Amino acid sequence: MDELHSLYYLLDLAGTFAFAISGATAARKRNLDLFGICAIAFTVACGGGIIRDLCIGAIPPAGLTNWQYLVVSVIATALTVGFYPVVQQLNRPVLFFDSVGLALFAVTGAQKALSFGHNGEVALLLGITTAVGGGVIRDVLLTRVPVILEKEIYASAALAGAAIVVLGHNQKWISSDWVAIIALIVCFSLRILALRFRWNLPTPTNKKPKAKK
Amino acid sequence: MDELHSLYYLLDLAGTFAFAISGATAARKRNLDLFGICAIAFTVACGGGIIRDLCIGAIPPAGLTNWQYLVVSVIATALTVGFYPVVQQLNRPVLFFDSVGLALFAVTGAQKALSFGHNGEVALLLGITTAVGGGVIRDVLLTRVPVILEKEIYASAALAGAAIVVLGHNQKWISSDWVAIIALIVCFSLRILALRFRWNLPTPTNKKPKAKK
Amino acid sequence: MDELHSLYYLLDLAGTFAFAISGATAARKRNLDLFGICAIAFTVACGGGIIRDLCIGAIPPAGLTNWQYLVVSVIATALTVGFYPVVQQLNRPVLFFDSVGLALFAVTGAQKALSFGHNGEVALLLGITTAVGGGVIRDVLLTRVPVILEKEIYASAALAGAAIVVLGHNQKWISSDWVAIIALIVCFSLRILALRFRWNLPTPTNKKPKAKK
Contact status of C29 with chain B (Cβ, < 8 Å): yes
Split into its structural domains, chain B has a count of: 1
Contact status of A206 with chain C (Cβ, < 8 Å): no
| Per-block mean pLDDT, blocks of 10 residues, chain B (213 long) | 65 77 85 86 90 90 85 87 72 67 88 89 92 88 79 83 90 78 90 80 57 41
Query: Chain centroid to CA A3: how far?
Result: 23
Q: With an 8 Å Cβ cutoff, are A141 and C143 in contact?
A: no
Note the pLDDT of residue A211: 43
Note the pLDDT of residue B213: 39
Within a domain: residue B72?
Answer: yes
Note the pLDDT of residue A98: 73
| pLDDT above 70 for C72 | yes
- Of B109 and C147, the structure prediction assigns the larger pLDDT to B109
State how far residue C192 is from chain B, nearest Cα, in angstroms: 28
- Best of A25, A30, A31 to mutate (most C CBs within 10 Å, chain C): A31
Note the pLDDT of residue C22: 81
Note the pLDDT of residue B209: 42
Within a domain: residue B64?
Answer: yes
Chain C residue numbers with beta carbons less than 8 Å from the beta carbon of B127 are none
Contact status of A201 with chain B (Cβ, < 8 Å): yes
Q: Which residues of chain A have pLDDT under 50?
A: 1, 91, 207-213
Could you read off the pLDDT of A53-98 as tens digits, one per residue? Answer: 999 988 888 888 888 888 988 988 888 888 877 666 654 556 676 7
Within a domain: residue A46?
Answer: yes
Predicted ipTM beyond 0.85: no
| pLDDT above 90 for C52 | yes
Q: With an 8 Å Cβ cutoff, are B148 and C27 in contact?
A: no
The residue-averaged pLDDT of C13-42 equals 84
Task: Of A32, A11, A50, A33, give the one whose Cα is nearest residue A137.
Answer: A50
| pLDDT above 80 for C6 | no
Q: Give the pLDDT band (50/70/90) at residue C163.
A: very high
Chain B residue numbers with beta carbons less than 8 Å from the beta carbon of A201 are 33-35
pTM assigned to the model:
0.85
Could you read off the pLDDT of C95-136 as tens digits, one per residue? Answer: 676 787 888 889 989 989 998 888 888 999 999 999 889 888
Within a domain: residue A208?
Answer: no
Within a domain: residue B14?
Answer: yes
Chain A residue numbers with beta carbons less than 8 Å from the beta carbon of B142 are 145
What domain range is A64 assigned to?
2-196
Chain A stretch 103-142, residues whose beta carbon is closer than 8 A to a beta carbon of chain B:
118-119, 121-122, 125-126, 136, 140
DSSP B73: H
Note the pLDDT of residue B17: 82
Please give the residue of chain A at the shortest CA–CA distance from B80: A204
Q: Which residues contact A112 (CB under 8 A, 6 or more apart)?
A: A8, A52, A53, A56, A58, A126, A130
State how far residue B129 is from chain A, nearest Cα, in angstroms: 17
- Best of B29, B32, B35, B142 to mutate (most A CBs within 10 Å, chain A): B35
Beta carbons of B98 and B18 less than 8 angstroms apart: yes
Chains that touch B (3 or more CB pairs under 8 A): A, C
Within a domain: residue B22?
Answer: yes
Note the pLDDT of residue B101: 80
Q: With an 8 Å Cβ cutoff, are A40 and C212 in contact?
A: no
Q: Give the pLDDT band (50/70/90) at residue C210.
A: very low
Note the pLDDT of residue C88: 66
Write down how long chain C is.
213
Beta carbons of B93 and B87 less than 8 angstroms apart: yes
Chains that touch C (3 or more CB pairs under 8 A): A, B
Complete DSSP assignment for A33-100:
-HHHHHHHHHHHHHHHHHHHHHHHT-SS-HHHH-HHHHHHHHHHHHHHHHTHHHHHHSSSHHHHHHHH
Q: Chains A, C: CB contacts under 8 A, how many?
A: 79
In angstroms, the CA A190 to CA A186 distance is 6
Within a domain: residue C90?
Answer: yes
The residue-averaged pLDDT of C152-165 equals 87
Residue type, B16: T
